């Protein structure tokens, strides 16, 4: 019997044992009702649950779709980011590697592998640092013991500290390694090839101490070496000698043949200087065409210095053949002996310069030892410079005039203006003494301008058929802006351009040829006459006649003085006179002092003459225009 029915029967039993049927039926009915209710409840629950689950499912599907889309988008983004990362990693010029805490490679870029010649297999993720280092050792990329190399690097890495190291490889490359530990173990390292940078640094360091063109040491290194030599001198008594060199006529070569040739010349000069000196000597280029040599000395310091100086002179005076150009330069040398000529660097340099200046002043292509008097001369020169500067302000200059006359009529055709300096203490000083100084200091320009202006002003008072002749040096020509200047002076003084002659020497044509020739043409177009002075003394006198149509040429006095004694000189003078005739330009014989010379000059065919025969240079007030006596009064143009 079903246990529930048994229970129901027991519950429905009366005390007598008889079953209360009604009670039993009630219990049974209740049981059926409960069962029905339970079943209905179950059905309803199931339906509701299914409905809810379906809804949830639908919601989940939707969520999954959305999340999938999100994930896909994120995946794309991640892929794009990875591509960017890869691109960055593979395009960076440095090698990069990342290791985990177990010293296994996580990632590296191709560059890293290339730097060390490692194959993709050797650099795949998961390989150990040790295996990579051993691969490098096998390829020979280690400067020291292979065993040590691997262990040293491992020890460094295991130190877990950031570091930077520069590593010279056995093949000459230099790598810089930046090592950075990561939080949680592992590290990132950047490997960079700094070979070029190191070479540049070496180069820069070299250039900081050496001249870029010649490779010789530079001024600052020379001074350092001199300090060291002085220290040795003080400690051990070891003497030394300093030679200061300046190339003669380098500027002319540079200007005429161009800077590339000039540079080549300097390089060959440097080589020759090195060949004349010992390895222990210091050869320096100070700049331009200036050089210096510091040489240790032994017992016969002066004798050794002379021998060296002669070697140097011989070496530099030997012609240079540069690309078919045969060039001749010389050198002037100033020599100081330490300790005799100085106890410190400044003094030695200054004294060497003074000695060099002396060598140059006394004819060049020679050497001079320093003498105490040079110091005085320098002082004198400085004094003269300052006096010269003041001379213009103080009106200490005067012009003396020297006529140039027709050889037959002795009529003055033009009068040359010559500057004199009336020094308040020293009296009259010749231009030979102060003009070089003026050119050196740049005072030549204001002085030259004063000369031009004064000469034109004076000449404006002279008879109309007499020209004034003004000397123009190469320095003045270079620095002047001739046209404007001449125009202004002529306008201000009222002198017609046709009455002005400019005497120039060949050096004006040597420098900046085409430009200067063009200027000369423009001056001539204004009406000014151009005269070639000192004809016959330069290198290429004839070629200058081809360059420009001069109005007159002045034959140097040296030829005139030898007219009587030297047949060659007479022939030359005749030839030049003839040349002038054919070119229809006047010829002036300079330095005519006697009647005989005048006869010869006439006979030779010169058109004009200048010299003491016709009077010495004199102030304007003493000029005597005998034949034409009356001064033409011209109103001056303000």
Partner 1 sequence: MRVTQFSWSENAGWAAPSSNGTDSDLVFFFGNRQVLACGARYHELRAKFPHAHIVGCSTGGQIRNDDVTDDEIAAVALNFDATTLRVACEPASAADRSRACGEAIGRALAAPGLAGVFVLSDGLNVNGSELVAGIASVTGENVSITGGLAGDGADFHETLVSANCVPRKHLVAGVGFYGPAIRIGHGSAGGWDEFGPRRCITKSRGNVLFEFDGEPALDLYERYLGEDEAKGLPGSGLLFPLRIFDPERPQHDIVRTILAVDREARSMTFAGDVPQDWTAQLMRGHFDRLAAGAAQAARQAVDGLGEAHSGDSVAILVSCIGRRLLMGQHTADELEATSAEFGPRIPQLGFYSYGEISPHRVSGVCELHNQTMTVTTIAESAGGPRA
320-322 and 325-327 strand pairing: antiparallel
320-322 and 290-296 strand pairing: unpaired
Q: Which of residues 139-168 bind partner 1 (CB under 8 A)?
A: none
Stretch that binds partner 1, among 35-43, 205-213, 404-412, 624-632 (CB under 8 A): 35-43
Q: How far apart are CA 324 and CA 183, in angstroms?
A: 71
Q: How far apart are CA 216 and CA 219, in angstroms?
A: 10
Q: Which is nearer to partner 1, 36 or 491 (CB)?
A: 36
> Can you tell me which of 20, 38, 498, 515 binds partner 1, judged by CB under 8 A?
38
Stretch that binds partner 1, among 23-31, 110-118, 176-184, 373-381 (CB under 8 A): 23-31
The CA distances from residue 200 to 173, 181, 195, 324, 587, in Å, are 13, 31, 8, 35, 63
Q: Does 31 participate in binding partner 1 (rule CB under 8 A)?
A: yes
Q: Does 64 participate in binding partner 1 (rule CB under 8 A)?
A: no
Q: What are phi and psi of 421, to 5 degrees?
A: -110, 115
Which of these, 190, 196, 141, 136, lies nearest to 163 by C-alpha position? 190
Please count the other Cβ atoms lying within 10 Å of the Cβ belonging to residue 113: 18
Q: Which is nearer to partner 1, 9 or 137 (CB)?
A: 9
Stretch that binds partner 1, among 30-38, 113-121, 130-138, 549-557 (CB under 8 A): 30-38
> Can you tell me which of 49, 80, 92, 213 binds partner 1, judged by CB under 8 A?
49
* Helix/strand/coil for 105: strand
The CA distances from residue 85 to 81, 90, 393, 560, 609, in Å, are 6, 8, 78, 92, 93
Distance of closest approach, residue 53 Cβ to partner 1, in angstroms? 6
Q: Does 27 participate in binding partner 1 (rule CB under 8 A)?
A: yes
Distance of closest approach, residue 43 Cβ to partner 1, in angstroms? 10
Q: Does 29 participate in binding partner 1 (rule CB under 8 A)?
A: no
Q: How far apart are CA 457 and CA 519, in angstroms?
A: 23
Q: Does 71 participate in binding partner 1 (rule CB under 8 A)?
A: no
Q: Does 53 participate in binding partner 1 (rule CB under 8 A)?
A: yes
Distance of closest approach, residue 17 Cβ to partner 1, in angstroms? 16
Q: How far apart are CA 126 and CA 107, in angstroms?
A: 9
Q: How far apart are CA 623 and CA 407, in angstroms?
A: 19
List the beta bridge partners of residue 105. 99
Q: Does 48 participate in binding partner 1 (rule CB under 8 A)?
A: yes
Q: Which is nearer to partner 1, 2 or 259 (CB)?
A: 2
Stretch that binds partner 1, among 4-12, 261-269, 346-354, 507-515 (CB under 8 A): 4-12
Stretch that binds partner 1, among 27-35, 229-237, 342-350, 438-446 (CB under 8 A): 27-35
Distance of closest approach, residue 41 Cβ to partner 1, in angstroms? 7
In sequence order, which residues have a C-beta less than 8 Å from that of residue 574 and are 6 or more positions away? 604, 605
Distance of closest approach, residue 173 Cβ to partner 1, in angstroms? 59
Q: Does 52 participate in binding partner 1 (rule CB under 8 A)?
A: yes
Q: Does 489 participate in binding partner 1 (rule CB under 8 A)?
A: no
Kindly state the DSSP code that residue 631 receives in the 8-state scheme.
P
Q: What is the DSSP secondary-structure string of 184-212?
A: TS-EEEEEEE-HHHHHHHHHHHHHHHB-T
> Can you tell me which of 34, 82, 161, 202 binds partner 1, judged by CB under 8 A?
34
Q: Does 542 participate in binding partner 1 (rule CB under 8 A)?
A: no
Q: How far apart are CA 290 and CA 268, in angstroms?
A: 14
> Can you tell me which of 20, 25, 39, 44 binds partner 1, judged by CB under 8 A?
44
Distance of closest approach, residue 33 Cβ to partner 1, in angstroms? 9
Give me the half-sphere count of Cα atoms (radius 13 Å) on the Cβ side of residue 403. Answer: 21
Q: Which is nearer to partner 1, 27 or 335 (CB)?
A: 27
Chain length of the chain: 638
Kindly state the DSSP code that residue 404 receives in the 8-state scheme.
E
Q: How far apart are CA 244 and CA 355, in angstroms?
A: 8
> Can you tell me which of 20, 36, 39, 42 binds partner 1, judged by CB under 8 A?
42
Q: Does 56 participate in binding partner 1 (rule CB under 8 A)?
A: yes
Which of these, 305, 297, 294, lies nearest to 228 by C-alpha position? 294
Q: Output the six-digit token pair for 257.
A: 């043949």
Kindly state the DSSP code that residue 600 receives in the 8-state scheme.
H
Stretch that binds partner 1, among 36-44, 331-339, 368-376, 555-563 (CB under 8 A): 36-44
> Can you tell me which of 25, 45, 196, 542 binds partner 1, judged by CB under 8 A?
45
Q: Does 207 participate in binding partner 1 (rule CB under 8 A)?
A: no
Q: Does 39 participate in binding partner 1 (rule CB under 8 A)?
A: no
Q: Does 62 participate in binding partner 1 (rule CB under 8 A)?
A: no
The CA distances from residue 53 to 45, 46, 47, 61, in Å, are 12, 10, 10, 12
Stretch that binds partner 1, among 34-42, 131-139, 306-314, 447-455 (CB under 8 A): 34-42
How many H-runs (helices) and E-runs (strands) does the chain carry?
Answer: 22, 22
> Can you tell me which of 25, 36, 39, 40 binds partner 1, judged by CB under 8 A?
40
Please count the other Cβ atoms lying within 10 Å of the Cβ belonging to residue 71: 12
Distance of closest approach, residue 188 Cβ to partner 1, in angstroms? 38
Q: How many residues touch partner 1 (CB under 8 A)? A: 20
Q: Which residues bind partner 1 (CB under 8 A)?
A: 3-4, 7-8, 27, 30-31, 34, 37-38, 40-42, 44-45, 48-49, 52-53, 56
């Amino acid at each position: 019997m079903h246990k529930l029915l048994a229970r129901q029967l027991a519950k429905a039993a009366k005390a007598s044992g008889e079953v209360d049927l009604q009670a039993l039926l009630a219990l049974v009915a209740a049981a059926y009702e409960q069962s029905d209710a339970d079943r209905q409840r179950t059905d309803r629950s199931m339906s509701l649950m299914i409905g809810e689950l379906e809804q949830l499912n639908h919601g989940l599907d939707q969520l999954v779709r959305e999340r999938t889309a999100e994930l896909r988008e994120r995946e794309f983004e991640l892929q794009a980011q990875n591509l960017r990362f890869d691109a960055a990693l593979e395009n960076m010029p440095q090698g990069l590697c990342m290791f985990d805490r177990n010293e296994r490679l996580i990632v590296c870029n191709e560059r890293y592998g290339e730097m060390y010649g490692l194959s993709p297999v050797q650099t795949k993720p998961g390989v150990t640092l040790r295996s990579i280092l051993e691969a490098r050792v096998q390829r020979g990329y280690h400067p020291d013991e292979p065993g040590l190399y691997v262990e040293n690097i491992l020890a460094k890495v295991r130190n877990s500290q950031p570091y930077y190291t520069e590593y010279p490889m056995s093949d000459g490359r230099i790598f810089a390694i930046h090592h950075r530990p990561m939080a949680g173990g592992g590290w990132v390292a950047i490997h960079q090839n700094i070979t070029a940078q190191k070479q540049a640094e070496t180069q820069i360091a070299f250039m900081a101490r050496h001249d870029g063109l010649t490779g010789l040491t530079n001024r600052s290194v020379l001074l350092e070496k001199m300090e060291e030599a002085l220290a040795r001198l003080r400690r051990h008594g070891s003497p030394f000698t300093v030679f200061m060199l300046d190339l003669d006529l380098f500027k002319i070569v540079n200007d005429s043949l161009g800077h590339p040739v000039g540079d080549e010349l300097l390089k060959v000069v440097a080589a020759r200087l090195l060949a004349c000196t010992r390895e222990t000597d210091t050869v320096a280029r100070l700049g331009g065409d200036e050089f210096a040599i510091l040489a240790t000395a032994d017992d016969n310091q002066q004798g050794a210095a002379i021998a060296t100086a002669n070697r140097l002179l011989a070496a530099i005076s030997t012609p240079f053949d540069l690309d078919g150009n045969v060039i001749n330069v010389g050198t002037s040398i100033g020599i100081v002996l330490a300790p005799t000529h100085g106890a410190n660097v400044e003094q030695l340099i200054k004294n060497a310069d003074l000695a060099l200046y002396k060598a140059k002043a006394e004819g060049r292509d020679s050497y001079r030892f320093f003498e105490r008097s040079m110091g005085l001369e320098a002082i004198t020169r400085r004094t003269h410079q300052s006096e010269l500067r003041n001379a213009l302000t103080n009106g200490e200059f005067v012009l003396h005039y020297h006529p140039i006359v027709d050889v037959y009529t002795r009529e003055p055709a033009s009068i040359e203006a010559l500057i004199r300096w009336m020094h308040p203490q020293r009296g009259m000083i010749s231009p030979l003494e102060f003009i070089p100084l003026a050119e050196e200091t740049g005072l030549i320009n204001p002085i030259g301008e004063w000369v031009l202006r004064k000469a034109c002003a004076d000449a404006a008072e002279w008879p109309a058929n007499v020209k004034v002749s003004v000397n123009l040096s190469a320095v003045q020509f270079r620095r002047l802006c001739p046209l404007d200047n001449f125009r202004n002076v002529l306008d201000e003084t009222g002198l017609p351009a046709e009455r002005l002659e400019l005497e120039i020497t060949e050096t004006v044509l040597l420098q900046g040829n085409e430009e200067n020739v063009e200027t000369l043409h423009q001056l001539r177009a204004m009406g000014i006459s151009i005269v070639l002075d000192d004809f016959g003394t330069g290198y290429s006198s004839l070629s200058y006649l081809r360059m420009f149509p001069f109005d007159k040429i002045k034959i140097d006095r040296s030829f005139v003085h030898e007219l009587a004694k030297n047949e060659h000189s007479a022939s030359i003078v005749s030839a030049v006179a003839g040349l002038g005739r054919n070119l229809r330009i006047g010829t002036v014989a300079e330095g005519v002092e006697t009647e005989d010379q005048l006869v010869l000059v006439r006979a030779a065919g010169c058109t004009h003459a200048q010299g003491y025969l016709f009077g010495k240079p004199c102030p304007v007030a003493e000029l005597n225009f005998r034949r034409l006596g009356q001064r033409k009064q011209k109103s001056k143009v303000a």
